[in-house]
Structure 1
Amino acid sequence: MEVEIFIHKTCVECNMLLEYLENKGLLSKVKIIDTELYPFLAFERGVISTPSVFIDGKLVYAGAVDFDEFEKIISGEKIIKQIDKNNLIEKLMYGIVDSFAATAWLYINRDFDSFMAQKDFVIAVTGLALLNDSEKEEYYNYLRNVMIKEGEKYIEEWKPKMLRNIASNFIRELFWLYEKKISKDVVIQKYPLEVFAHWLMVRGGAVGRVGVRIHSLSNTIIMNRILDAYNFMLENYDELFNKIEKEQTELKAKNRETLRYIRI
């Protein structure tokens, strides 16, 4: 069994997973691939969120990982997956808001047909990856039909979580850039709405020109969506920055760099 885990050093969930595997003595059974060092490999494999876990080349977990279940898989135990159809939409939406790339792209573009074409990601975040092919296909088609018909409803329902994801990731990148807290006034001066809009449009699911959808600043529908995200970021700036500064400082202190190089 080949187990590959795509991670990023600033990802809290990635560090929690690595720490869990280390404590269980299982790190020697997996290959760790740092998406910061190997971005095109991650892009080639369809990684949308971290950690992404591939088992024998198949994406099994994306973002959220069931640690106990994963430990059993690595240890060679057979997993029998029980799926509650009523919870599938919630699992899908949780998987989306857990991924910045998925959140940013879908929040702006609202192209549910195109998004659901990311079949491996959808199957992984909903826990369908461990089912047999026929069950997997049945549940996937159900989800696809629901999202194409009712996607807007679920976006509105999960909008607060999507806005928090977008705002948190913008502020996290400010922390990486400045390595200190800058004032909200400085943010408004250096990053007006138009700059924030450009950042959000190119930041979601894009590598180079692949996946990029640039909307005109004169598109009032798109700009109203972006304005909501921009205002949410400013209104919650201090709370989010303080939380992110603490989170990133603690991650840096763990100094786990030796685990982040691909082992060939």
Structure 2
Amino acid sequence: MEFLRPTSVQEAVEALAVRQGRARILAGGTDLVVRLKDGLETARSLIGLGRCVELRGVREESGQIVIGAMTTHEELARSMFLRRVAPVLAEAAEEVGSVQIRQRGTIGGNVVNASPSADLVPPLHVLGATVVLVSRAGVRPLGIEEFATGPKQTRIRPEELLVELRFPRPREDELQRYFKLGQRRALACAKVSLAFRARSTAGVLRDVRIACGAVAPTVVRAREAERALEGTLPTADAIRRACAALARDIRPIDDVRSTAAWRLAACAELLRRAVPELV
């Protein structure tokens, strides 16, 4: 197997273009290396991005928060800037795997892996993130909601490299939280997860955004539940209506981790936890 270690995005993109779909990108390797070892993936060439320093870090640029694709979960979780402007994403990063996984795994890998239970993707949905893809042909931005089409399936092209994620800087008065339920309190994939974002103006919820993980083939925005809460005081009746609406937004299944019925009930419970805690 050929192993390449480019030192710039331009080099990495050129290597992808030359190999015409026969190369795989290696970021943190926490998923790909395991799948290669188990024979679930094959690759003639691996392009490691560890030397591409331009792909790391969190910054603000023209009113946008920009996160390099090689930024690790641990870097996100420890970023005081991110905890101030987008705590929902920092909280989710802190929930990923073990310390070792957080030190290696990257936000780009978490997104490209396209797991319905990925921790970082529900927060990116409520933040309105854009995935920035680069190839020889140029830059192609794609909304996070368009990116994944199913488990392990995305709209990234073989010649494209995910270089960063962007979202508008949230307002200082926003309310953001991430909740996750797994088999254990730590070191567990989500059986169900929920990201919540809103503003509270005189107790009234505005700009409500909810995204759920592990309840459909991809992470989903819960727009029916959002509409049920938008412009309301978070009374018990309003929350109950939102939970009922949430059941129309999601499509959980029975699998080895849990049942569809449990996921429906658990997702509603996470929404009940989110709203009162925030307001």
Task: Specify which structure has the higher proportion of strand.
Answer: 2
TM over 0.5: no
* Larger helix share, 1 or 2: 1
Q: TM-score, normalised by structure 1?
A: 0.27
